Amino acid sequence: MRINYLFISVLLLLIFSSGFGIATSDSSVHEILKTRKEEKDHASGKDSGAVRILAYNVHHCSGMDEEINYERIARVISELDADFVCLQELDSVTQRSVGVNQIEELANITEMHASFGGAINFQGGAYGVGILSGEEALQTANYPLPGNEARTFLVAEFSSFVVIPDL
């Protein structure tokens, strides 16, 4: 059983880390966005057979300046134009987020559908992972992962795909 969890974690790491730039500052994020926009502009448009998945650790929507800014996070998500956005480190109605359900706030701004999986109870709310998508999930399930650190395994089923981010 332990090997299965390890295999799944490694598989998810490979899926979500391949093809994505790693940004260490806001300027790096904007450089990645500029490059992606240039790539998109040179193409004839979005490949109808392609599925774009974005993995994004939003650090409870706090930037390098430690300011919680939903518009900034939503702009990054919108500019990358992904079909599915797998978000890590989200707050849901915590004291730290002043009672805001962060994934719902991002869903409203980006005009996407939200799914949330709480990993831990935190400051009167929950802390976990989420998925933003262009279509509403048919169903979702949230499973705790084993280990010393509380982590979760969110599964969202869509008409043609199953999306699984982890925390």
CB atoms within 10 A of CB 18: 8
- pLDDT at position 108: 97
Whole-model pTM over 0.75? no
Q: What is the pLDDT along the chain (167 residues), one digit of tens a residue?
A: 444 444 454 444 444 444 344 444 455 555 655 565 556 545 546 666 788 999 999 999 998 999 999 999 999 999 999 999 999 999 999 999 999 999 999 999 999 999 999 999 999 999 999 999 999 999 999 999 899 988 898 999 998 888 887 55
Q: Where are the beta strands (DSSP E) in the chain?
A: 53-57, 84-92, 113-122, 125-133, 139-145, 151-157, 162-163
Closest CA to 150 of 121, 116, 115, 125: 121
- pLDDT at position 17: 43
- pLDDT at position 47: 61
Question: Which residues, including other chains, have CB under 8 Å from residue 104's CB and lie 6 or more apart?
Answer: 114
The angle formed by the CA atoms of residues 155, 1 and 151, to the nearest 5 degrees, is 45
With beta carbons less than 8 A apart as the criterion, state whether 126 and 92 touch. yes
- pLDDT at position 34: 55
Could you tell me the domains of the chain?
A: 2-40+50-163 (3.60.10.10)
